Structure 1
Amino acid sequence: MLTKLKSISLGNWILIGMILGLIVGLILNFYVTNPYIKNIVLMDNVFYLGGNLFIKLMKMLVVPLVFFSIVVGVASISDVRTIGSIGGTTILIYLITTAIAVTIALMLGIYLQPGAGLQMTGLAEASNVTVNQTMPDTILGMIPDNPFSSLASGDMLPVIIFGLLIGIILAKLREETETFNKIFTEGNRIMMEMTSIVMKFAPIGVFCLMAKTFGGLGIEGIMPLAKYFVCVLIGLAIQAFLVYPTLLVIFTRLNPINFFKRFIPVMFFAFSSSTSNATIPLNLDKLSEMGVSRDVSSFTIPLGATINMDGTAIMQGVAVMFAAQAYGIDLGTSALLTVIFTAVMASIGTAGVPSVGLVTLTMVFNSVGLPIQAIGVIFGIDHLLDMFRTAVNVTGDAICTIIVSFRNKAIDLDIYNGKKQPKKEIHIM
């Protein structure tokens, strides 16, 4: 029995914690009438402590995790200078598709209202919500007056800008700053390991958050959660089957049906594994079968697995609207633009750790001052959504790679169109 329990994945434990928390919360809501046991012992102490302890651990992680990840990521991406336009084009396309993804998510959230009717205003109070600033103020707010103060206070946009600047400088002075490069690289590894440790407590934290939430909200809280789930799935479907094929046709005139016929096995593998990194070898092989040069794909696919997180951006955009509606907050245009920018930057800083998208979601929430307690409500179903968005992430990596390959004449169109079989690699560098 113990061996079987150990074999259960973290994602499944989180799902179990969500279901058990939902059941316990509903039982408390409908069947426990003793206010001392229900409210004082469980709701206000046990579940409050367990849920908020996990949230505070997440808040503890987010600033150093994102800061180190962005610095190390930007410093390592400096190699794009050696491959000229391929690197610049790849990064530009990845950032554009991520911006499109989060914009779609926000539009769906505004239209479908996934958080409407949840009424979570009593569970936490929002602070410093960015409802409507002028655009100049929004831009000026990205530049830190004191970067150390921004790091200490968790003011994420200035932290991101500061991290980007350090990464660029480390890339430029690579040989002269080896010690600093090593410090940031090791710091990033430490934060990765710390995130893995904290995530082991996620099932308990999710159980407590769900039990407290539904112990107070009741059955009426289930419908918005289902609406949130469906809203994210719709966004993922639009990105995968409308945005990506459209970009492929616009930039290459290639038939997207040919792509999906061959790429479906990779999508299923990504879905089942829930990790973009594990899908890299299969993705590379499949693109080679489509006639794409390994000289290009060996750079663009690993880079995409690091910075191209369109599925995660969609989840974050919908989650922002879900939380804003649940707390009765009307986000202004400048706040929505801030969400788009922060989600794009968060995709660059997203580490290869399971469910880390929810950790960086804290950063997105902080950028507009939304209460991160709402994350606890959606945390439990994230494992299921993670499977779908990983499939979208790797699909975006492949589509962008084909576009870059086409623009650099590094794809055999006859192989792509099925007129001949792949024989040998195309070398362009």
Structure 2
Amino acid sequence: MSFDRNKLTLHIVVGMVAGLIVGGVLNLIGNEGWIAVVFTDGIFHVVGQAFLRSLQLLVVPLVFVSLVCGSAALDDVRKVGRIGLKTVGLYMITTAIAVSFALGAALVVQPGSGFDLPTDVEFRASEAPPLTAIIIDLFPSNPIQAMASGNMLQVIVFSILVGLALVLSGDPGKRVLGLFRDLNEVVMKIVTIVMMLAPYGVFALLARTFAREGFGAIAPLAKYFVLVLVVLLFHGFVTYPGLLALLARLNPVRFLRNVRTVHAFAFSTASSNATLPVSLETAERRMGIDNSVASFTIPLGATVNMDGTAIMQGVATVFIAGAYGIQLSVTDLGMVVVTATLASIGTAGVPGVGLIMLAMVLKQVGLPEAGIGLIVGVDRLLDMVRTAVNVTGDLVVSCIVAKSEGQLDEHTFNADSDDPGN
């Protein structure tokens, strides 16, 4: 089974635009009564969730099988450590850059100044686990349970262990590795099938989101919303391409063309994990990144790389401080950068991670957590853009690491998307 990527991307974009329009119209005419029952909570909900679950069902098998193959392809154990250090280091650097840009822009614009603070704002964030618990939780006591619960960091650790064991097992390991490579091809074929259904799923997801949320929620927080959006777009279309050109000497325009389909998936699902199958497929077959690198950097990035969320934290911190009339010191701003950067790694895998991370940052600088309630209304809309930025960062870091390791095929990276075999 084959498909034209250009046509698929076009169809997904059409589905996105149609979903925005249909959802917006339903919201304007009143998303209630039979309209909500039949469309918003009926057809759109069923189709959207079916598509989302089709993506989610692929995440664990794809990561496990692909990462076992990738780890086994690294015949030197030291390569795993070297790639890991480069990947985590780059993810933390891009996050620090993201939150610094966000703070700088927010301090100039002052989105919270003159804000009419509601008196009934309330928000309670889930408690973030301590650092010791996070480190211990990296290591699975039951790998089957880790896969069933979708604990991706534990799945990654177990997959790497299995891959290294295959390398050290000689001929038996080679025979089992052959099975995993065949399984990898089968799983990637399922990804292709799901991608062909994407335009319908994307339409349903966006139609339901905008039918429920509408554009009216943006008005009271327009200054905050637009500022976060501008910084997100700057980071996605200027910072990342700049790093790619500087560190990997790769064409940023070609990269952005290659990543179009991933952007569409990320925007519509608002989930890095749900987009992971498409990101991996794009990394290997469009970017030319070897499986030994992509199978490690992409799943890890989907779990811990949160540049988009860090941008939201930077702007939201200044916004909430301004709304409450609290002045942040230079030391406070520095703590925001450090806390947000470390939190992007530390709170990986925690439900509601974006708001938990923001609560941690606010607590660190002495701001009331209840201020998060001010921005919850528009957070869903911004979350879609944040996710697109996050997955872009995953692919940029993957390209840089792969190029530094000599594991990137530049012919594939620079090929037209409709070239045979790509």
Coarse TM-score class (shorter-chain normalised) = 0.5 to 0.7
Taking only aligned residues, the RMSD between alpha carbons, in angstroms, comes to: 3.8
Please list the CA deviations of residues 272-308 of structure 1 after superposition, one character each: whole Å capped at 9, or x if unmatched.
1111111111111212222111111111111000000
The residue aligned with 2:300 is 303
The residue aligned with 2:339 is 342
Kindly indicate whether residue 232 of structure 2 is the aligned counterpart of residue 240 of structure 1.
no
Contiguous gaps of at least 5 residues in structure 1: 13-78, 126-151, 190-206, 208-218, 425-429
Verify the 8 A CA contact 2:362 2:369 in the aligned structure 1: yes
Query: In the alignment, residue 91 of structure 1 is paired with which amino acid?
Result: V
User: Post-superposition shift, 1:361?
Assistant: 1.7
The residue aligned with 1:396 is 393
Name the CA distance, whole Å, in 1 between partners of 2:291 and 2:384. 27
Name the CA distance, whole Å, in 2 between partners of 1:166 and 1:302. 19
Aligned length: 291
Please list the CA deviations of residues 5-28 of structure 1 after superposition, one character each: whole Å capped at 9, or x if unmatched.
644669x9xxxxxxxxxxxxxxxx
Name the CA distance, whole Å, in 2 between partners of 1:121 and 1:290. 48
> SS where residue 259 of structure 2 aligns?
helix
CA separation of 1:255 and 1:227: change in aligned 2, threshold 3 A: same
Query: In the alignment, residue 394 of structure 1 is paired with which amino acid?
Result: V
Verify the 8 A CA contact 2:262 2:278 in the aligned structure 1: yes
Name the CA distance, whole Å, in 1 between partners of 2:146 and 2:258. 40
Kindly indicate whether residue 291 of structure 2 is the aligned counterpart of residue 294 of structure 1.
yes
User: Post-superposition shift, 1:246?
Assistant: 0.8
Query: Which of the residues 224, 242, 245 maps onto 1:249?
Result: 245
CA separation of 1:183 and 1:401: change in aligned 2, threshold 3 A: closer
Verify the 8 A CA contact 2:121 2:374 in the aligned structure 1: no
Name the CA distance, whole Å, in 1 between partners of 2:380 and 2:308. 13
Give me the TM-score of the superposition, normalised by structure 2. 0.60
Name the CA distance, whole Å, in 1 between partners of 2:148 and 2:261. 36
CA separation of 1:124 and 1:272: change in aligned 2, threshold 3 A: closer
The residue aligned with 1:229 is 225
Contiguous gaps of at least 5 residues in structure 2: 1-33, 49-70, 72-76, 152-211
User: Post-superposition shift, 1:419?
Assistant: 8.2
Query: In the alignment, residue 230 of structure 1 is paired with which amino acid?
Result: V
Kindly indicate whether residue 360 of structure 2 is the aligned counterpart of residue 363 of structure 1.
yes
Kindly indicate whether residue 112 of structure 2 is the aligned counterpart of residue 115 of structure 1.
yes
Please list the CA deviations of residues 56-107 of structure 1 after superposition, one character each: whole Å capped at 9, or x if unmatched.
xxxxxxxxxxxxxxxxxxxxxxx99771211110010011111111111111
Please list the CA deviations of residues 348-384 of structure 1 after superposition, one character each: whole Å capped at 9, or x if unmatched.
214375x541233222211212112221121011111
The residue aligned with 1:351 is 349
Query: In the alignment, residue 321 of structure 1 is paired with which amino acid?
Result: V
Kindly indicate whether residue 301 of structure 2 is the aligned counterpart of residue 275 of structure 1.
no
- After the TM superposition, which of the residue ranges 238-247 and 116-125 deviates more from structure 2? 116-125
The residue aligned with 1:105 is 102
Please list the CA deviations of residues 111-155 of structure 1 after superposition, one character each: whole Å capped at 9, or x if unmatched.
111111015396689xxxxxxxxxxxxxxxxxxxxxxxxxx9x7x
Name the CA distance, whole Å, in 1 between partners of 2:421 and 2:94. 32
Kindly indicate whether residue 227 of structure 2 is the aligned counterpart of residue 259 of structure 1.
no
Name the CA distance, whole Å, in 1 between partners of 2:355 and 2:134. 22
Name the CA distance, whole Å, in 1 between partners of 2:303 and 2:344. 8
CA separation of 1:224 and 1:335: change in aligned 2, threshold 3 A: farther
Query: In the alignment, residue 390 of structure 2 is paired with which amino acid?
Result: N
